[in-house]
Structure 1
Amino acid sequence: MTTETPQTLLELTHRPDLDILVGRWAYQPVEQELPAVYQHVEAVALQEDCRFWLQDIRRRTLNDPHTTGWLLNDFFPRMARQLGGRLFVAYLVGPALHASIVQHPNYISAEAYDDKPFAISFFGDEGAAIRWLQIQQTDKVH
């Protein structure tokens, strides 16, 4: 068990100029570290009332299926309810992790989230990820 704080694992910054919550992951976490990190994300997102998230996971090397299931089935829908609107999460990923995610048999494309209270998409370029979030902000349907 690590003694590092969630802030060491995840640098979380609200960009009020963009209305985007930016999370930069420092390393591949062990599963035991994640509850405190996601409690921190929840607290900051609620404090800033921000539904548009950029998660930079380029330093992560794998995607844990248990955590992914929890995010998709519990955390993201709950955050959308608490924030009072659709949650949008842009993941900035490196090439190896991106390939691992999209080639997984349970991968869900961005279009499949149309009927969900949240949407996620994966990007290799930070500018493209921010543009996607900005498009979601201007879409009056959410």
Structure 2
Amino acid sequence: MNLDTTSPLLHLAHRPDLDIMVGRWGYQPAPDELPAVYQQVEKEALRSRCRFWLQDIRRRTLNDPQTTRWLLNVFFPDMAQRLGGRLFIAYLVGPALHESIVKQPGYVPAEAYNDKPFATSFFGDEGAAIRWLQIQQTDKVR
């Protein structure tokens, strides 16, 4: 599944000026590559104590349903608890992947996360994704 082995699977950096952890995915991973990558995400999030994530997945072409279930049911709730507050993940996606995600059985829109310890939303524009994360940072109810 890895079509471009010359670039890293994930470049991850905390932007302290924005208090946003940015992850840029380099290619479509095989499902067996993901556990090590999410360990890297966990380590950086805990190191930076950052609950606001921008995940640029525009180079990915599909989401593995099993991994998605694990993220929504285990990883995100656990990270929110470990980070001591609600976790927000803004996904920057290309049009084809966005369409694929929203048409999957069990897709949950952003509004459905209001009672969850985390929220996700999908964007086609990086500026809009960052603005959404900044709004979450300033919302005193969170």
Amino acid at match of 2:49: D
Name the aligned partner's letter for residue 69 of structure 2. Answer: G
Question: Offset at 1:105?
Answer: 2.2
CA distance in 2, matches of 1:104, 1:73: 16
Letter in 2 for 1:12: L
2:39 partner SS:
helix
Deviations 1:29-85 (A, max 9, x none): 001110100000000000000000000000000011000000000000000000000
5 Å matches for 1:52-131?
52-131=52-131
State the number of aligned residues: 139
Q: Distance in 2 between matches of 1:46 and 1:105?
A: 32
Identical aligned pairs, as a percentage?
A: 77
Which amino acid counterpart does residue 8 of structure 2 have in structure 1?
A: T
After TM superposition, the score normalised by the length of structure 1 is 0.95
Tell me the secondary structure at the aligned position of residue 18 of structure 2: coil
Q: Provide the C-alpha distance between the structure 2 equivalents of 1:37 and 1:63, rounded to a whole number of angstroms.
A: 15
Amino acid aligned to 1:69: R
Give the alignment's TM-score, normalised by structure 2: 0.95
- Structure 2 unaligned spans of 5+: none
Give the corresponding residue for 2:25.
Answer: 25
- Alignment RMSD, CA only? 1.6
**Alpha-carbon separation, structure 1, partners of 2:30 and 2:127:** 29
* Structure 2 counterparts to residues 41-52 of structure 1, below 5 A: 41-52=41-52
In the aligned structure 2, how far is the partner of 1:78 from the partner of 1:106?
21
SS in 1 for 2:47: helix
